[in-house]
Amino acid sequence: MRIGCHLTITKGLDKAAAFAAGIGANTFQYFTRNPRGGAARRIGPEEIGRWRRSREEHDIYPVVGHLPYTVNLAATGGRPGDFAAMVVEEDLQRVGELEGEILVSHPGHYEADRETALRQITSLLEKSLELDVPNRPVLCLETMALQSREIGSLEDLGYILRALGFPAALGVCLDSAHLFAAGWDLRTRAGCDRLVDRLEAEVGLERVKCMHLNDSLVPMGSRKDRHAVLGRGELGETGISAIIVHPFLGRLPLLLETPVDKYEDYGPQLAFARSLVGEGSLA
């Protein structure tokens, strides 16, 4: 299976690949810039060269960039709108330079109403499709817990992709904790099947590129975004197991974003997930 976690790349991308391998990960996600601010570290050609070699040595695939939380793709005009357009353009280029396969973004939240927000996101993404991006990563919109004015139900993502004709440059990133909080019961095979059926109808399964594998601190349908350690939340061992043995969901690249004190703590959770499908730890 392809499973990894969110890591920092502040000490260098090549070091992140070696670190990932050391804790038993064969994929990872990183923030393309400061998650709460927006400043970006410049990554030079030497680091990219070391990164290519390290990534190959450690068999890391795919590599997933995540946009900062401060980006609101639904922001209309003014500075927040300009910032969102600028970050999408720059970070598609930056992830492409590293030959990263996926760039994940939260869809955003609405200010006036949902319709206007969905049209704004669609128009921003339409412009992004016209950009010339070497090694273009697939820009994936994430499914959200739907707290307050959040965009990110399957229907929202379906609306956006449909309006743009389901281009190959756009995709969907699932999040098991968000989906559960939004009302999807993923604790059984039947529940996972219902989700996959709806995904097929709304966005098409070939557009679903990865999943954030998180347990949920809050009950099903509570519409709050609170992640828990795998097996210790409301999804529990039964739920996490149902997801990762599922013939579609379990074959997606899985990325943990569960609460940890230090990145090494992902190691035992990765081993736990692998044990549920009868795989030994890679670490």
Residues lying near Zn ion in the complex (CB under 5 A) are found at: 142
Shortest CB 29 distance to Zn ion, Å: 9
Shortest CB 169 distance to Zn ion, Å: 19
Pick between residue 142 and residue 156 the one whose CB is nearest to Zn ion: 142
Q: Which residue is nearest to Zn ion (CB)?
A: 142
How are beta strands 138-142 and 102-105 bridged, if at all? Answer: parallel
Shortest CB 257 distance to Zn ion, Å: 7
Closest to 198 measured CA to CA, from 213, 222, 214, 182: 182
Pick between residue 27 and residue 54 the one whose CB is nearest to Zn ion: 27
Pick between residue 182 and residue 282 the one whose CB is nearest to Zn ion: 182
Pick between residue 142 and residue 234 the one whose CB is nearest to Zn ion: 142
Contact 201, 193 (CB under 8 A): no
Which pair of tokens denotes residue 33? Answer: 């810039």
Closest to 58 measured CA to CA, from 137, 104, 2: 2
Shortest CB 212 distance to Zn ion, Å: 6
Shortest CB 156 distance to Zn ion, Å: 15
Pick between residue 121 and residue 276 the one whose CB is nearest to Zn ion: 121
Shortest CB 56 distance to Zn ion, Å: 27
Shortest CB 175 distance to Zn ion, Å: 6
Pick between residue 142 and residue 215 the one whose CB is nearest to Zn ion: 142
Shortest CB 73 distance to Zn ion, Å: 13
Contact 241, 176 (CB under 8 A): no
Contact 271, 283 (CB under 8 A): yes
Pick between residue 263 and residue 276 the one whose CB is nearest to Zn ion: 263
Pick between residue 14 and residue 62 the one whose CB is nearest to Zn ion: 62
